[in-house]
Amino acid sequence: MLVLAVRGALPVALRSIVRDQAQAAIRGQVEIGDVDLWLLRGAISLDGVAIRPAPEAEPVLSWDQLYVQISWPELARRTLLLREIDLVHPRVDVERLADGGINLTRLLPEPAPQPEVPQPASEWRVALEKLVIDRGQVRFQDASVKGAKPIHIDIGSLQAAGGGFAGAIFEGRSTIAARLEVEGAPLQIDGPNLRAVLGTRSQNQIRRSQTTFAGGGYLSRPEGARGSREPDRAARWGRQAFAGSW
């Protein structure tokens, strides 16, 4: 009975601790629905999370479930191995403000002054074994561009594996596979070189448009007529970060 009582009270106490720690690190309101912990497995789950810039504001970041599992043995080798990260139905509302800043960065506290003496490089390494994102949504609004309309990205699925960081240096090899929709246009990403393929919109007329992103990148959509049989054209995203066809 005592074990059951402790097991039942642990998620409540842990949820309060996690919420308080997150609230102290973020300039906004943090809501957490449920927390589960598996010590032997090295896993934790945060469910029903929403982060708001103000109590009455809409969430700028939320998700239904975040499951993270690490490897205990790898910690002895100074490696934080993320065996599994499962993120279910994340929703992100990103806005580039009129002054050029990003709304999400305003949730973070002001950085502490850095010491003039260079700090020794960290001996720790962070490695990823598996990342899965299911049914995500991203909304991007650029308030620095007059008349710019929001861009909606639906993430049907995204899986990544491999790679890691030793300090600020990326090492190893990673792979990624994603099925997205950018403003209704299907986008497929496969392979370690982030090769992207944009699907054809045969049912809708695509008008030429260019939308500025933070950092000066852009998404450029070609113009095509309804039912056009013209060959697919190249699509450009960012500064030629990847190429594909419509």
Render pLDDT for 232-242 as a digit per residue (tens, 0 to 9). Answer: 333 333 333 33
pLDDT confidence band for 228 (50 / 70 / 90): very low
pLDDT of residue 214: 35
Residues composing the chain? 246
Residue 16 has pLDDT above 80, yes or no: yes
pLDDT of residue 51: 95
Render pLDDT for 34-79 as a digit per residue (tens, 0 to 9). Answer: 999 999 999 999 999 999 998 889 999 999 999 999 999 999 999 9
Please measure the distance between the N-terminal and C-terminal CA atoms of the chain and give it in whole angstroms: 62
pLDDT of residue 203: 35
pTM of the model: 0.73
Mean pLDDT rounded to a whole number for the chain: 77
pLDDT confidence band for 226 (50 / 70 / 90): very low
| DSSP letters for 180-220 | EEETTEEEEEEETTTEEEEPP-SSS-B--EEEE-TTS-EEE
**C-alpha–C-alpha distance, residues 129 and 131, integer Å:** 7
pLDDT confidence band for 96 (50 / 70 / 90): very high
CB 104 within 8 Å of CB 94: yes
